[in-house]
Chain A
Amino acid sequence: MTRYSAFNLLREGLRGHTGWGKAWRSPAPKSSYDAVIIGAGGHGLATAYYLAKNHGLTNVAVLEKGWLGGGNTGRNTTVIRSNYFYPESAALYDLSVRLYENLSRDLNYNVMFSQRGMVVTAHSDPEMEMAARQVNAMRLNGVDAELLDRDQVRKLAPLLNFRPDMRAPIHGGVLQPRAGTGRHDAVAWGYARAADALGVDIIQNCEVQDFIMEAGRCVGVHTSQGDIRAGVVGAAVAGHSSVIAKMARYDLPITSYALQAFVSEPLKPVLDTVVLCPPFGTYVSQSDKGGLVIGGGLDRIPSYGQRGNLPVQETVLAGLVEMMPALASVKLLRHWAGIVDVTPDSSPIIGPSGVDGLYLNCGWGTGGFKAIPAGGYLFAHVLATGSHHEISRPFDRSRFVTGHLIDEGAASGIAH
């Protein structure tokens, strides 16, 4: 692996970039591995990386039915944050933020984590009270948070609507300074390259079609490129968790929906932070290339279509214009959608599937991208040791039986 650095870039520039090696190999699958991960999205690739790096397990394959990073990892709105309410969530998502903070250097791939902050606005006295409750919770959980008043919000995001005819006047908000955005493709590519360099096989265009079961235990997978046996199998297939579950005959508390995302034409810098306005349900940030990246709520119709429809587009984009009226004449360039797996408490499922030898990292709903490093780190722990890291334990699927749900739904505003 040719190391990425300014020096090497300078040198390669003079050589027509002929010295750069492959970011990852395209190996043929072996007939068996110590661990097989299904899904080469951010979580699957990060899991493989941490298996190799933290647990010394390199005889690992990541199987991807399409092209790596082509699922939700390549379709999200790139927000990274840990502004959650419950201690369990704070531990999970802030682990992720801390890993993101050093990720570019760990992977030797610039993922462009820009810690430009995220503000969630509050539009009434009761909402300010909830904002205070939220800020206090975050700080008590060891996560950075500030309670902002109206003027402070205005300073951070001058484009926001402070006009007298604003439908939902801004009273203040919750700021997480360490939150921000990252380059989503780079996260997938960075983990892929680093895992590959440690010996992990990433097999693209390899669809898992069934599981190989022996005496009730999962010992491998049947794929479009042949059978592959595995000491342990982990499924990290956002958008297709239920499809995989059916193959192995366990059930899941998941409904899949289309989550739409939008980008505008590129503009010179106009917005330096991430903003979410709950009354409109819309949030926005500006990418380093200049486009405004916009998101909102789900199309509430179970869907694997990877597209949504006009009513939600109108709601989300109208919400943006209400939030920031100066954007009215800015043009929408493109919109797309992913498939999000939503659980009853909008918190992920990490841990055993109920079928021996098969583990799950799923149910991240609309919040998977920010959690890629933590999801990978924790899932690697489960796969390598067979037991939970203390941070992932509360997210075991057994919580749906015991009732110990971690319901961040209300805490985070819109579908997170």
Chain B
Amino acid sequence: MQIFPCPFCGPRNETEFHFAGELGKVRPATDEKIAAQDWATYLYAQRNDKGLVREVWIHLTCSELFVMERDSETMKVLGSRSLREDAQ
């Protein structure tokens, strides 16, 4: 059972978490016209890196979203920080 570090609650069992997506997806402004290709890229394209990954996770217990860095090959957790910290 992996342990993930919620920046708010501390290290917790992996079953308390949900993978919310890769970090860096920015929703395009849809009040303008967007090409179908660009919308598809936003919706579906994934970096899916082998190795260092930066992801958004939800700690279901406290409902907080946060950024976690991991290695997707070794499954090591490198660190986590709140979304706000990451934005700064």
Task: Say if the two chains contact directly (CB < 8 Å).
Answer: yes
Residue numbers of A with Cβ under 8 A of B are 240, 242-243, 251-256, 300-305, 307, 309-311, 344, 400-402
Q: Can you name the residue of chain A whose Cβ is closest to the Cβ of B50?
A: A304
Q: Does B30 contact A (CB under 8 A)?
A: no
B50–chain A nearest beta-carbon distance, Å: 5
Known A-B contacts A240-B50, A253-B46, A311-B1; A305 and B72 likewise in contact (beta carbons under 8 Å): yes
When the two chains form the complex, which single residue of B18, B37, B49, B73 contacts A242, counting CB atoms closer than 8 Å? Answer: B49
Complex interface: chain B residues within 8 A of A242 (CB): 46-50
B53–chain A nearest beta-carbon distance, Å: 6
Q: Give chain B's interface residue range (CB within 8 Å of chain A).
A: 20 to 34
The 3 A-B pairs of least Cβ separation, nearest first, read: A253-B44, A242-B48, A251-B45
12 contacts between A and B (CB under 8 A): A242-B47, A243-B50, A253-B44, A256-B50, A301-B14, A302-B53, A305-B72, A305-B73, A307-B75, A309-B14, A311-B1, A401-B37
CA distance A311 to B16 in the complex (A): 11
Q: Does B8 contact A (CB under 8 A)?
A: no
B43 touches A301 (CB 8 A): no
Residue numbers of B with Cβ under 8 A of A are 1-2, 13-15, 18-19, 36-37, 40-41, 43-50, 53, 55, 72-75
Complex interface: chain A residues within 8 A of B45 (CB): 251-253
CA distance A256 to B50 in the complex (A): 9
Q: A253-B46, A256-B50, A303-B72 are in contact. List 13 more A-B contacts (CB 8 A).
A: A253-B44, A301-B14, A302-B19, A302-B55, A303-B75, A304-B72, A304-B73, A305-B74, A307-B75, A309-B2, A311-B13, A400-B40, A401-B40
CA distance A269 to B74 in the complex (A): 39
Q: Can you name the residue of chain B whose Cβ is closest to the Cβ of A405?
A: B44
A219–chain B nearest beta-carbon distance, Å: 25
Complex interface: chain B residues within 8 A of A307 (CB): 75
